[in-house]
Amino acid sequence: MATISFSFLNSLSPHRIIKKNDASSWGLVVKDLAKINTSTSVGVIRTTFLKPKMMLNKLETYPYTVPGLGLGGVLKDEFVFQQKFHIRSYEVGPDKKITAETLMSLLQETALNHLKTIGVWVDGLGLTREMCNKKLIWVAAKQEVVVDRYPIWGDVIQINTWKGAYGKIGMCSNWAFYDDKTGDILLRASSILVMMNEETRRLSKFPDEVRGELNRHFTYTTPPTVKEETRKWSTRDRSTEDHIRTGLTPTWSDLDMNQHVNNMKYAGWIIESVPRSIVKNYELASMTLEYSRECRMGDVLQSRTYVMGIDTCKLADYDHVDCEHVIQLESTSDEIMKAWTTWRSKKGNRLE
């Protein structure tokens, strides 16, 4: 075993320029054989490091450390949870801005970390002790998001989130995203979460015992982040829509820790049926999502978009575009969710 050769590229048939004799120089020729020990197993041939712990010295000073980046914490007012995020390359889309899915994921992440930090979380996705006792889980009923400016890869953003009671039936979560460098607000969002019995799959009232666990963490004085979207579902003939994306199916990796399709997927599915001319020329300025029923592994979905009152052939004439959307089961047309979105032109026109 003079060298560890990587002579596999001969199997890479479409890449004919790769010759087998190139393979000895992966840039990985091992000069100090004492450092490694190769063990072979059935199916997995691996190189084991003799030094099992970190083989490289720790970096003493990070040239690009961001102060305060971490798991987040609750502010002095005891109600607002704050966490910073560094936007990663795979969280941005082809336009280099964070995707709608990432945006929804960050809402989830901070809401959950908030519950974790205040210590009411016992199990699952944000379940309190009393929720576990009563077999209740959180279900998103409605989400509203307004984006002023999208962060891009490499940006550091600060997210503040706080919660309140939603009447007698649930909880409202609020968020504000800020540019960590300038302090400018980037995004505001609000969600309503209600409770469902995990076994019967029926919605439940918010029991006093659960309210008792959460109440002291609810704030009633912090301003709301997003005002209600007052538009109602249009009365247009829905059989006439021409923007449909069929055959959408949740994958294994779309499931969350509750074995449910992650909420963040829905935002992506909505965009799937938006005409490409809109996705390319406009950016999503706001969305309102209303969840109707659960989506499960094995469901085949359709995403339908109704572009409101414009001629999509004359996009240059519009500063913004409004759309209605439905995600439904392909087999029965049962509605999984509906949504409204507003898109603003990328030409620099901002809705005011």
Q: Interface residues for a copy of itself in 298-317 (CB under 8 A)?
A: none
> 85: phi > 0 → left, psi -120 to 50 → alpha, else beta; which?
beta
In the complex, the smallest distance separating the C-beta of residue 17 from a copy of itself, rounded to whole angstroms, is 5
Long-range contacts, stretch 148-151, CB < 8 angstroms, 24+ apart = 148/184, 148/185, 148/186, 148/187, 148/188, 149/179, 149/184, 149/186, 149/187, 150/97, 150/98, 150/186, 150/283, 151/87, 151/97, 151/98, 151/177, 151/179, 151/186
Nearer to a copy of itself by C-beta: 241 or 290? Answer: 290
Nearer to a copy of itself by C-beta: 18 or 122? Answer: 18
Please confirm, yes or no, whether 132 is among the known catalytic residues: no
In the complex, the smallest distance separating the C-beta of residue 217 from a copy of itself, rounded to whole angstroms, is 11
Report which residue type is found at 15: H
Q: How many residues of this chain bind a copy of itself (CB under 8 A)?
A: 157
Stretch 141-170 residues interacting with a copy of itself (CB under 8 A) = 141-142, 146, 153-154, 158, 160, 163-169
Question: Which residue among the candidates 86, 132, 260, 320 is catalytic per the annotation?
Answer: 260
Q: Using alpha carbons, select from 236, 238, 268 the residue that is nearest to residue 253.
A: 268
CB 298 within 8 A of CB 331: no
> 8: phi > 0 → left, psi -120 to 50 → alpha, else beta; which?
alpha
Selected binder of a copy of itself within 221, 235, 239, 332 (CB under 8 A)? 221
Stretch 91-130 residues interacting with a copy of itself (CB under 8 A) = 92-94, 96, 99-101, 105, 108-109, 112-113, 117, 125
Nearer to a copy of itself by C-beta: 18 or 329? Answer: 18
Stretch 17-56 residues interacting with a copy of itself (CB under 8 A) = 17-19, 21-32, 35-36, 38-39, 41-47, 49, 52-56
In the complex, the smallest distance separating the C-beta of residue 145 from a copy of itself, rounded to whole angstroms, is 11
User: SS3 string of 177-188?
Assistant: EEECCCCCEEEE
Selected binder of a copy of itself within 118, 198, 219, 283 (CB under 8 A)? 219
Binding-residue pattern over the window 73 to 92 for a copy of itself, x denoting contact by CB under 8 A: xxxxx--x-x---x-xxx-x
Query: Is residue 328 involved in binding a copy of itself (CB under 8 A)?
Result: no
Stretch 236-275 residues interacting with a copy of itself (CB under 8 A) = 247-249, 251-253, 255-259, 262, 264, 268-269, 271-272
Distances from the Cα of 97 to the Cα of 84, 122, 175, angstroms: 17, 35, 19
**Please, which residues have CB within 8 angstroms of residue 316's CB and are 6 or more apart in sequence?**
none
In the complex, the smallest distance separating the C-beta of residue 270 from a copy of itself, rounded to whole angstroms, is 10
Report which residue type is found at 24: S
Question: Which residue among the candidates 258, 262, 281, 349 is catalytic per the annotation?
Answer: 258
In the complex, the smallest distance separating the C-beta of residue 293 from a copy of itself, rounded to whole angstroms, is 6
Q: Where are the alpha helices (DSSP H) in 215-311?
A: 264-272, 276-281
In the complex, the smallest distance separating the C-beta of residue 237 from a copy of itself, rounded to whole angstroms, is 20
Q: How many CB atoms lie within 10 A of CB 55?
A: 9
Range in contact with a copy of itself (rule: CB under 8 A) among 3-11, 127-135, 236-244:
3-11
- How many angstroms separate the most distant Cα atoms in the chain? 75
Please confirm, yes or no, whether 295 is among the known catalytic residues: yes
**Please, which residues have CB within 8 angstroms of residue 19's CB and are 6 or more apart in sequence?**
9, 10
In the complex, the smallest distance separating the C-beta of residue 331 from a copy of itself, rounded to whole angstroms, is 14
Residue 272 φ then ψ, to 5°: -60, -30
Selected binder of a copy of itself within 123, 184, 208, 242 (CB under 8 A)? 184
Please confirm, yes or no, whether 86 is among the known catalytic residues: no
From CA 272, how far away is CA 216, in angstroms rounded? 41
Question: Which residue among the candidates 113, 174, 262, 295 is catalytic per the annotation?
Answer: 295
From CA 72, how far away is CA 83, in angstroms rounded? 4
Catalytic residue numbers read 258, 260, 295
